[in-house]
Chain A
């Protein structure tokens, strides 16, 4: 009994003032992920890495848009999205107060425009992703002509690329030579 009283006196007041005063979290605390739409290129790497399916990506071909979304109600704050993001567009913050009055408020979205294919004109990839890849491979092009060729390549949709490749192969001398030799 004496030991107990001593311990109680030694402790003093253990209660903290939270929520009336802020509470300090550790330096690298993993809290609410914040999305910087300005940095995001809608590449969807984070949506693949997310174990909880909190991150999603939906394409609306008709409207020519792609919508990125995060559901804070599903998020497990593992930070895999931050690890895989190539453009530093999503970061975990120390914020742990996520309560909302309306459930729908847990979902945040960002809408990105899709770029049309230079060949067929149909939207195929986010404008910002195309621009990002273009800048990246242009920078390493050996000549201006090569850079132009690469720009065209990136701005063409996969379907058109395939059709184009097929046309080229069909028209090439090698194929004709093979056909005649048979």
Chain B
């Protein structure tokens, strides 16, 4: 008889960090469980939650990736919060800090005062679960509309059917927009909301003449309730196709993140070829997304010929996606356990041919773009994201890399087929729109060589495994590096062939909170350019209300007019 051998700690990345944490806060950790060799979940005392998250964040190079609330009253009588930290110090791993919130109090100490990156997540948990973050300075709703009934918290298991849409009770917007301007402040009048054909979001710029003193904005006008519908209507594999539709640009990244989360939770060994194919498709998605953003960058500086050229060449990446997946967008190729289509010999050859053409054409276009005389004047030193602000708010993707932080999920937490791939992490230290644009340019060329590498090295074999069974209440994180940065999903399986909880955090969710700081100190005409430089899931600001803090007046400028002003920089709409 052999004694059962405990998994040696050396195989578990992150165990040293946890040991150090236990040493510093001796009585905080109640329980430790490991979902994968690089993913640990620590259940901590509720009172110690802010300290634990802050210690991991500030002393062990942690970045807050996502926080998920969960209504676990049917499992253990409490609500639970999961703060997922991406540890990017000596040990690259994920540590999830879990705390149970008693159903009797529905309160927890806010982490935001110590770790500002938690602000949107805690506001969302208050909306969706009715849990009060005590000490959270921002008391506004995040997701729910102003006239949503108090006390109706959609993600509580006993709250509502997913089809319920409470009738609107009023047209008034009661949301308070924040303005930290030192000078005279103004009560901002609210006009009616125009839901145009573009996606709606509401920006408010507080200006002094042409200079932006502060900015605030509001999203979630089109919250689709995907998490609720996934929990209540769809089976595990069906959610894969829903995840594909989280975003029209980086949907496949979400689909991979979701399937990876379930595969991690259940310990499914996905065939190596399937993982390689996932990586090829993720890079294909990055190719088209970065070309789209480069095209838009041209458009916003008034260089529409460049915009047309980038979009013309981008069509080749769409052809590539169509050939490999059968669809230009929403590839729908994932299942839990692998992919649905192999890359065949002739597709392999055609891919390499298209990659060659793209490399040549985009090299020419980038040269052309950078040689355009007024480009640098428009993008250099504009929309500065201070590295310190970035560190506080945990933004992701080219937005954070443009400010000198070396973060890339593909390298930090190799997933899918990125394990053996040689790739650099491109960073820029300009912290401005130019820096972020150049990071995207470099990443575009990296993606081309990553696809070539993976195609050359991919092993043969099956592309799908069905050799697993679903077990209830297993949970884990799944993550990908989408074109705009890390997408991260936290999933827990249920006992009825449905998810118990699915928390899907898109990359732009992590990037919005820093935008305010990027807008400050710039001129109104640069605003659309700065917004576009984080490549938000939409760059449409719907319409913009401009408030002159000195004249205490306000004017509402239609978005199209703002965009025109950004391109032409004549006939200011403010005059």
Query: Which of A's residues lie within 8 Å of B, judged by CB?
Result: 1, 3-4, 7-8, 11, 14, 25-30, 51-52, 76-80, 83, 92
Q: Which A residues are in CB contact (< 8 Å) with B326? A: 26, 28-30, 79, 92
On whether the beta carbons of B332 and A11 are closer than 8 Å, the reply is: no
Q: Which A residues are in CB contact (< 8 Å) with B238? A: 51
- Bound complex: CA of A79 vs CA of B242, how far in Å? 14
CB distance from A50 to the nearest CB of B (A): 8
On whether the beta carbons of A25 and B322 are closer than 8 Å, the reply is: yes
On whether the beta carbons of A7 and B332 are closer than 8 Å, the reply is: no
Q: Which B residues are in CB contact (< 8 Å) with A28? A: 323, 326, 341
CB distance from B81 to the nearest CB of A (A): 30
Complex partner residue of A79 from B240, B305, B332, CB under 8 angstroms? B332
Q: Which A residues are in CB contact (< 8 Å) with B228? A: none
Complex partner residue of A29 from B239, B245, B327, CB under 8 angstroms? B327
Query: Which of B's residues lie within 8 Å of A, judged by CB?
Result: 234, 237-242, 245, 305-306, 309, 312, 319, 322-323, 326-327, 330, 332, 340-341, 364-365, 367-368, 371-373
- Bound complex: CA of A30 vs CA of B305, how far in Å? 33
On whether the beta carbons of B323 and A8 are closer than 8 Å, the reply is: no
Q: Which A residues are in CB contact (< 8 Å) with B312? A: 11, 14
Once A and B bind, how many residue pairs between them come within 8 Å at the CB atom? 57
On whether the beta carbons of A77 and B368 are closer than 8 Å, the reply is: no
Residue on B nearest A27 in the bound complex, by CB: B323
- Bound complex: CA of A98 vs CA of B86, how far in Å? 45
Given A28-B326, A30-B326, A77-B332, also A7-B371 (CB < 8 A) = no
On whether the beta carbons of A11 and B309 are closer than 8 Å, the reply is: yes
- Bound complex: CA of A11 vs CA of B340, how far in Å? 37
20 contacting pairs across A/B (C-beta < 8 A): A4-B306, A4-B372, A7-B309, A26-B326, A28-B323, A28-B341, A29-B327, A30-B332, A51-B238, A51-B240, A51-B241, A76-B241, A76-B245, A76-B330, A76-B332, A77-B332, A79-B326, A79-B332, A79-B340, A92-B326
Report whether over half of chain A's contact residues are helix, strand or loop; otherwise say mixed.
loop
On whether the beta carbons of A51 and B242 are closer than 8 Å, the reply is: yes
- Bound complex: CA of A71 vs CA of B242, how far in Å? 17
Residue on B nearest A14 in the bound complex, by CB: B312
On whether the beta carbons of B330 and A7 are closer than 8 Å, the reply is: no
CB distance from B242 to the nearest CB of A (A): 7
On whether the beta carbons of A7 and B365 are closer than 8 Å, the reply is: yes
On whether the beta carbons of A3 and B371 are closer than 8 Å, the reply is: yes
On whether the beta carbons of A77 and B327 are closer than 8 Å, the reply is: yes
Q: Which B residues are in CB contact (< 8 Å) with A52? A: 241
- Bound complex: CA of A51 vs CA of B330, how far in Å? 13
Which 4 residue pairs are nearest across A and B when measured between Cβ atoms? A51-B238, A30-B326, A78-B332, A51-B241
- Bound complex: CA of A52 vs CA of B233, how far in Å? 10
CB distance from A41 to the nearest CB of B (A): 23
Residue on B nearest A2 in the bound complex, by CB: B371
Q: Which A residues are in CB contact (< 8 Å) with B240? A: 51
Residue with the highest number of chain A CB atoms closer than 10 Å, among B237, B327, B330, B332: B327
Q: Which B residues are in CB contact (< 8 Å) with A79? A: 326, 332, 340
Residue on B nearest A25 in the bound complex, by CB: B322
Q: Which A residues are in CB contact (< 8 Å) with B242? A: 51
Residue with the highest number of chain B CB atoms closer than 10 Å, among A1, A77, A78: A78
CB distance from B45 to the nearest CB of A (A): 41
Residue on B nearest A76 in the bound complex, by CB: B241
- Bound complex: CA of A138 vs CA of B178, how far in Å? 75
- Bound complex: CA of A69 vs CA of B237, how far in Å? 22
CB distance from A95 to the nearest CB of B (A): 13
Q: Which A residues are in CB contact (< 8 Å) with B341? A: 28
- Bound complex: CA of A28 vs CA of B371, how far in Å? 40
CB distance from B112 to the nearest CB of A (A): 36
Q: Which B residues are in CB contact (< 8 Å) with A92? A: 326
Given A3-B367, A76-B330, also A29-B241 (CB < 8 A) = no
- Bound complex: CA of A3 vs CA of B305, how far in Å? 12
On whether the beta carbons of B305 and A29 are closer than 8 Å, the reply is: no
Q: Which B residues are in CB contact (< 8 Å) with A29? A: 322, 326-327
Q: Which A residues are in CB contact (< 8 Å) with B322? A: 25-26, 29
Q: Which B residues are in CB contact (< 8 Å) with A76? A: 241, 245, 330, 332
On whether the beta carbons of A30 and B327 are closer than 8 Å, the reply is: yes
Residue on A nearest B242 in the bound complex, by CB: A51
- Bound complex: CA of A78 vs CA of B340, how far in Å? 10
Q: Which B residues are in CB contact (< 8 Å) with A80? A: 241
CB distance from B338 to the nearest CB of A (A): 13
Q: Which B residues are in CB contact (< 8 Å) with A11? A: 309, 312
Q: Which A residues are in CB contact (< 8 Å) with B305? A: 4, 8
CB distance from B320 to the nearest CB of A (A): 10
Taking A30-B332, A52-B241 as given, write out 20 further A-B residue pairs in contact, using a Cβ cutoff of 8 Å, ordered by the A residue number: A1-B371, A1-B373, A4-B368, A7-B364, A8-B305, A8-B309, A11-B309, A11-B312, A28-B326, A30-B326, A51-B234, A51-B240, A51-B241, A51-B242, A76-B332, A77-B327, A77-B332, A79-B326, A79-B340, A92-B326
CB distance from B452 to the nearest CB of A (A): 21
Q: Which B residues are in CB contact (< 8 Å) with A3? A: 364, 367-368, 371
Q: Which A residues are in CB contact (< 8 Å) with B323? A: 26-28
Q: Which B residues are in CB contact (< 8 Å) with A1? A: 371-373
